[in-house]
Amino acid sequence: MMPTVADHVIATLQASGVDRVFGLPGDSLNGFTDAIRRADGFTWEHVRHEEAAAFAAAGFAAVTGQLAVCAGSCGPGNLHLINGLFDAQRSRVPVLAIAAHIPQSEIGSEYFQETHPQELFRECSVYCELVTTAESAPRILEMAMRAAIAENGVAVVVVPGEVLLHKTDARVTPILATHSITRPTDDELQRAATILNGSDKITVLAGAGVEGAHDDLVRLAATLQAPIVHALRGKEFVEYDNPYDVGMTGLLGFASGYKAIKEAEVLLMLGTDFPYRQFYPENAVVIQLDIRGRNIGRRTHVDLPLVGTVTDTLPALTPLLTVKTDRTHLDRSLRHYAKTRRRLDELAANDRDRTPIRPEHLAAVADRLAAEDAVFTVDVGSPVVWAARYLTMNGRRRLLGSFNHGTMACALPLAIGAQTVDRDRQVVAFAGDGGLTMLFGELITLSQNRLPVKVIVFNNSSLNFVELEMKAAGIVTFGTDLHNPDFAAVARSLGLFGRRVEQPGDLESALADAFAHDGPALIDVVTARQELSIPPAITVEQAKGFSLYAIRTIMAGRSDELLDLVSTNVARRILD
């Protein structure tokens, strides 16, 4: 029997090393899901919301480095994919989305559930095209897969449901990744070397683009006697086994990282598109290396642009450099980092069993108890702050989050994708109470799919980071209260291990029990609402904002909130 278009899609995916699709079924996807049912060695990874399917595919792709696939039915079904696809696109992971469409003869008639997916998904993809015939389907599929793999981005194939059932005898072509050497020319490398050889105050800013180049990065820093600052997405690839690491910069970062960059004469940017312009030096000479030339110079002025990968470029650049002996800038940066790190670690201690539990303490205990090869996923908001500051990377652990797109509700579905890769590897989700409840139904996915994800809920009964932003702007907090259930009890009702922790003395045993549990687990930890995650540099406007917030809060009759803020952040740390 001649295969259908849907059969051809599954065969092409299998030939290309893909063996699963994340999604939710629907009538316009019937041909596709039936082809999966009939295929050997191919699975349908069921979720409760299509947004979670897209996030799960992104998590799977981030851990494996390989193409992952999600699918949604016509109209609202595939529209739900869009937030997760935006995140995958901005995180630069290869994801293919199959977006089913209404009957082709009804397009343009405002038919039931009609949207225009090829327009909706264009902004969050490197390729997006509508299949109109069985003859065009194989070619469009191949182009989409190749674009996603080659450009590390999202490709969307929009296909009317009836086309999936049409017959095709097209040849199956595997679409596999290619590998190239990409680095600047010898002349450009010599120009970079001349600049670097002429300064003794060099700071390296490293991002996610240094993945796979850890040892070369450390050798470069040793040659230049240069401190290395990392952006958040570079954390997992930079900070371990690195005597030149001085922490992170940015809104979530360390004062030491901020200072090392501000005091540099030369800033060498490696594989980073760090977006916050206020954290760049004002007068330094800047060299920026990025595989995407379009990214160069859009955050700060750049004196020497270089296009290439970090892994290919550093081995060619380092031999051109003069070995430096002046450690003045490096040692000053390392001392500042040691002081900053010590202060942060002091905040992570059990505060004499006082309640609510400090979120820093929760993050630090989870870090200490987690497996050496754990995958951590983190929600946007306060959980990402504590993850950035207290999770220890070692070259085997992974850290996933919505670090560019910045969406809430990502920790749980990213964990679903990461755990699907390997059910024997520990996956820990740092979930905010607000983010978790946005995709609450995915706890059922953990149970149904038998995924042993460990979910740690930072339960502060608020949209905590939003409150911090309000305070910095001088605004009385409003609309941020969350009236939460007992998350542990909910988890138990869904078939998960669940435990609620309100006392610091119970925290370690609860986490240890959850991590040891053979199945999905949720730990609901009541954490301090007023814990402040202070950025490394506070502007005059932010200081004024906090003063205005204090005055307006008192005038609004909410002095108890201000007292709680002082008690949490001043009395505990200074008056004791």
Catalytic annotation, residues: 50, 112-113, 380, 465
Structure token digits, residue 338: 């040691």
Contact between 337 and 536 (Cβ < 8 Å) = no
Structure token digits, residue 256: 């030491």
- The span from the CA of 249 to the CA of 260, in Å, is 9
In this structure, is the dihedral angle defined by the CA atoms of residues 522, 528, 529 and 534, taken in order, positive or negative? negative
Contact between 337 and 245 (Cβ < 8 Å) = yes
Contact between 551 and 557 (Cβ < 8 Å) = no
φ/ψ region of 95 (left if φ > 0, alpha if ψ in -120 to 50, else beta) reads beta
One-letter amino acid for residue 347 of the chain: L
Q: In b/e form, how buried is each residue of 211-226, taking b as 16+ CB within 10 angstroms?
A: bebbebbbebbebbbb
- The span from the CA of 28 to the CA of 160, in Å, is 7
What DSSP string describes 360-394? HHHHHHHHHHS-TT-EEEE-TTHHHHHHHHHPPP-
SS3 label, residue 530: coil
Closest CA relative to residue 391, chosen from 411, 417, 371: 371
Contact between 38 and 14 (Cβ < 8 Å) = no
SS3 label, residue 429: strand
157's CB contacts (< 8 A; 6+ apart) are 96, 97, 98, 99, 129, 131, 140, 141, 144
Contact between 100 and 159 (Cβ < 8 Å) = yes
CB atoms within 10 A of CB 482: 15
Closest CA relative to residue 383, chosen from 566, 533, 230, 564: 533
Closest CA relative to residue 457, chosen from 501, 520, 512, 413: 501
Closest CA relative to residue 17, chosen from 212, 180, 178, 177: 177
- The span from the CA of 99 to the CA of 113, in Å, is 13
